[in-house]
Amino acid sequence: MSQDLKAEVAQLKKQVAELSKTKDYLEIWKLQSRYAHLYFMMRNSEIPSLFAQKTPGISMDIEDAGIYEGMKGVKRFWNTVLSEERYKSTPGWLAIHMTCNPIIEINKAGTKARGLWFSHGSVSGLRKGKLDCMSCLGKYDMDYVKEDGEWKFFRLAYSASPTVSSTCTPSTRTGWRNRLQAASLVCRITRQTNRLPTTCPTAATV
């Protein structure tokens, strides 16, 4: 094989590797987007299917709701803490949590990856018997694993900055900065978590 041919083959191999990594990047992005879509559409019972089904060690760590480990823990979270029934039985409920501005790093073997995402969101629901609307900003810190050729969640961690509460009353005229409050899911905790959360240190004292 001539030197020119060897160089061409080497260049083609490099391009194939780069294309493979690009494909992985887009597949991970699509996986994260599918999660956001299911959450917005109140199809929470389908979210556990986005997690690795055969790889041990999966977990979730969201705000002050605790850490849920294994498929049993993940399903418990989406069927109790943030269940579809809870949403659909709450008049005026809305949850939009977009995932954007990703930083995705994939290992050389193309089997594991990490991702950081900003999440801007709008939420509405009942608070003390009245419809309340909030804007929030959080961050997803994700670990992914490729299982049977398909990217899956290995670890999902979400931490929120203080939410901006803006109730649908004249009190909004006071300005959003006067109504900052810490994000919390503690009111929904079933106390069946595996461990205390790491994304919300104050949860241990709640």
Q: pTM of the entire structure?
A: 0.78
Convert 125-137 to b/e letters by CB count within 10 Å (16 or more is b). Answer: beeeeebbbbebe
Res 206: pLDDT? 31
Which residue's structure tokens are 């994260």?
A: 32
Domain positions in the chain: 3-205
For residue 174, pLDDT beyond 80: no
CA distances from 29 to 63, 99, 116, 155 (A): 22, 9, 11, 15
More confident residue, 140 or 171: 140
What is the identity of the amino acid at 66?
G
| Both tokens assigned to 152 | 């899956």
pLDDT band at 205 (very low <50, low <70, confident <90, very high): very low
pLDDT in tens, 22-69: 999 999 999 999 999 999 888 999 999 999 999 999 999 988 788 999
Q: Which helix (H) or strand (E) holds 34?
A: helix 3-40
Query: Would you state the pLDDT for residue 201?
Result: 45
Q: Is 1.20.1300.10 the CATH classification of the domain at 3-205?
A: no
Q: Are 32 and 97 in contact (CB under 8 A)?
A: no
Segment 88-141, tens digit of pLDDT: 777 777 888 889 999 999 999 999 999 999 998 888 877 777 777 777 788 999
pLDDT at 151: 98
Region of 129 please: left (phi>0), alpha (psi -120 to 50) or beta. left
Q: What is the pLDDT of residue 92?
A: 77
Q: How confident is the model at residue 163 (pLDDT cuts 50, 70, 90)?
A: low
Position 171 scores a pLDDT of 42
